[in-house]
Amino acid sequence: SQQGEEDPQALSIQEGENATMNCSYKTSINNLQWYRQNSGRGLVHLILIRSNEREKHSGRLRVTLDTSKKSSSLLITASRAADTASYFCATDPRRGGKLIFGQGTELSVKP
């Protein structure tokens, strides 16, 4: 199975609410990245957190990493309708050399 598994698979919230997505992985990693994909488009890199970091912020995004639990979360604060997209975590394993993508969380933000 994939290294990265995301939860929930789908999330529907109202504009202004916060959205939290979780990612779990299985092996040791160098870093973990989050990507966004609008419907029918390519993926866009959002944020990278290294294995020695616990939390990182970028605008309305907040990412946490717990290497002891092998998990990460992405929080989008004050969500907007334009945040509607699929969000993927990708892990860079210590052994392997290639990013491994999870199944993604489909976020729907209703105006």
Contact residues: another protein, CB under 8 A: 2, 30-31, 33, 35, 40-45, 48, 86, 88, 90, 92, 96-99, 101-104, 106
**Residue nearer to another protein on the CB measure, 69 or 95:** 95
**Residue nearer to another protein on the CB measure, 25 or 35:** 35
Q: How far is the CB of 35 from another protein (least distance, A)?
A: 8
| Stated length of the chain | 111
Strand-pair category, 29-37 with 43-50: antiparallel
Task: Determine phi and psi for 102, rounding to 5 degrees.
Answer: -80, -175
**Residue nearer to another protein on the CB measure, 18 or 38:** 38
Cβ atoms < 10 Å from Cβ of 89:
31
